[in-house]
Amino acid sequence: MILVSNSARFMSGGAADGVVSSGALIINADDWGRGRETTDRTLECWERGSISSVSAMVFMEDSVRAAALARERGIDAGLHLNFTTPFSKACYPAMLQQHQHRIARRLRRHRLAQLMFYPELIRSFEYVVSAQLDEFRSLYGTAPRRLDGHHHMHLCANVLLGGLLPRGTIVRRSFSFDRGEKSCANRFYRRAVDYVLARRHSLADFFFSLMPLEPEVRLERIFSLGHQFVVEVETHPINLREHQFLTGGEIVRWVSDCPIAGHYGGTVDG
């Protein structure tokens, strides 16, 4: 089953006129493997059928166990690239630590840092991305077919302009907003980023965060889009309120007429 949009549908910022889509509601949990509690809370959500897939971190304290669980349970896992949070695995290459530290120091300097391209960090970005791709292959027995980023830094200029994400993979697009929610400049930038992504990758039609859960009309609008479009909703089960929403039955009434997809999708429509 194809759960990603093609370039024609994406380019309009949604579905193109005349293009028919059965739609899909994908709820994806980030930070799989970051720590035991995060993994366990996410696993509970998956067992209850309230998430479709996970985005896995590598070189973290629970990465190995999380990968084993995903392979054993058949959990759809993509790679959650990490440039900003120190790796917490007991043992990993010192060179990787050095390169990530150099990158994090720049990207965390100010909120617009990811918009800038840093020529002096080209080698560091290449090394950190390559190391995480290799580690994912080692843990999951296959290359990642889907990628996104911790703090959404997979969208930073060095990654995009450097073409560091494997061509043909599914990649998380920018957040989706209605007119008036963000400035024209902000929406133009996001559209430009998505345009660059769509030239090499497949993308969902819309992307939202599960939070905030109120007002209710927001969730109603997001979930209803899943009838016609491919919608990804990002969640972090380590957040107690999100975990309660996903495991306590609240989500059931929201998805009664638009079921949560059982996986993100294994077929890329490029």
- pLDDT for the residue 7: 35
Range from 13-27, 79-93, 154-168 carrying the lowest mean pLDDT? 13-27
If you write DSSP's letter for every residue of the chain in order, what string do you get? ---SB-HHHHHTTSPPTT-----EEEEEEEEETSSHHHHHHHHHHHHTT--SEEEE-SSSTTHHHHHHHHHHHT--EEEEE-SSSPP--SS--HHHHHHHHHHHHHHTSSTTGGGS--GGGHHHHHHHHHHHHHHHHHHHSS--SEEEEGGGGGGSHHHHHTT-SPTT-EE--PPP--BTTB-HHHHHHHHHHHHHHHTTSBB-SEEEES----SHHHHHHHHHHTTTSEEEEEE-TTSHHHHHHHHSSHHHHHSSSSPBPSSS-S----
Burial class (CB in 10 A: 0-12, 13-18, 19+), 257: exposed
Range from 44-48, 55-59, 170-174, 216-220 carrying the lowest mean pLDDT? 216-220
Hey, how many other C-beta atoms are within 10 angstroms of the C-beta on 26?
Answer: 24
Average pLDDT score over the chain: 89
Q: For 105-127, what is the mean pLDDT?
A: 96
Q: For 173-181, what is the mean pLDDT?
A: 83
* pLDDT 10s digits, 193-203: 999 999 999 99
Provide the residue ranges of all domains of the chain, joining segments of one domain with +: 7-254
Q: Inform me whether the pLDDT recorded for 10 exceeds 50.
A: no
- pLDDT for the residue 81: 98
Under the banding of pLDDT at 50, 70 and 90, the label for residue 180 is low
- pLDDT for the residue 97: 97
- Answer yes or no: pTM beyond 0.85: yes
- pLDDT for the residue 213: 94
Q: Is the peptide bond before 212 cis (omega within 30 degrees of 0)?
A: yes
- pLDDT for the residue 9: 39
User: Angle, nearest 10°, between helix axes 122-140 and 94-107?
Assistant: 120
Spatial separation of the C-alpha atoms in residues 104 and 50, rounded to whole Å: 33
Q: For 225-246, what is the mean pLDDT?
A: 96
- pLDDT for the residue 111: 87
Give domain 7-254's CATH superfamily.
Answer: Glycoside hydrolase/deacetylase (3.20.20.370)
Q: Inform me whether the pLDDT recorded for 269 exceeds 60.
A: no
